[in-house]
């Protein structure tokens, strides 16, 4: 197993890779969703480090206040530290509730019985929001982080193509 010995050098390599990918593909800015967790905090910071316009979105959605506070804190931290960061907060709780209410005719009040389905719905609403913001700002590039079994993959959803780096 290869151990990372120089984290500063790794950060430089990842930031350069993001900047090179964006430049090579004619992308003007990045759109990143942040949850307040470690994965999105690291990725959003790396994107901010590129110097490219970086739209950082907090998207609270029926979550405990401490999670929203972490996301808000990180969004504000980035916007103060990096001039290229454009902070946005879009509360999706009303959208989520309205969506679930549309199923009430069929499911009655038993809409919360399938927690996996509800979790998937939340992530899809957040992804649609990221795509919508990307469309508004004139880019079709969204940085997505997949964290699985101690490996982290950056996916750039760019039109129909995806580039990826696995750390």
- Which 3 state secondary structure label does DSSP give 163? strand
Q: In the chain, which residues have pLDDT < 50?
A: 146-154, 158-167
Dump pLDDT digits (tens) for 9-23.
889 988 998 888 888
> What pLDDT is stored for residue 49 in this prediction?
95
b/e map 131-151, b = 16+ CB within 10 Å:
eebbeebebbbbbbbeeeeee
Q: Is the pTM of this model over 0.75?
A: yes
> What pLDDT is stored for residue 1 in this prediction?
61
> What pLDDT is stored for residue 76 in this prediction?
96
CB atoms within 10 A of CB 114: 12
> What pLDDT is stored for residue 104 in this prediction?
75
Question: Based on the number of CB atoms within 10 Å of its own CB, is 45 exposed (0-12), middle (13-18) or buried (19 or more)?
Answer: buried
Structural domains of the chain ordered from first start: 7-166 (3.40.50.620)
């Amino acid at each position: 197993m290869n151990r990372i010995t120089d984290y500063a050098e790794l950060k430089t390599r990842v930031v350069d890779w993001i900047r090179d990918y964006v430049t090579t593909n004619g992308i003007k800015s990045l759109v990143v969703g942040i949850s307040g967790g470690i994965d999105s905090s690291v990725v959003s910071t790396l994107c901010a480090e590129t110097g490219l316009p970086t739209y950082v979105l907090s998207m609270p959605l029926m979550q405990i206040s401490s999670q929203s506070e972490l996301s808000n804190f990180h969004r504000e931290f980035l916007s103060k530290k990096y001039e290229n960061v454009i902070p946005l907060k879009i509360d999706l709780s009303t959208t989520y509730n309205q969506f679930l209410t549309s199923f009430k005719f069929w499911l009655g009040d038993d809409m919360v019985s399938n927690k996996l389905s509800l979790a998937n719905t939340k992530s899809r609403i957040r992804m649609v929001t990221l795509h919508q913001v990307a469309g508004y700002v004139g880019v079709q590039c969204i940085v997505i982080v997949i964290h699985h079994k101690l490996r982290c993959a950056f996916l750039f959803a760019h039109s129909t193509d995806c580039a990826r780096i696995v750390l």
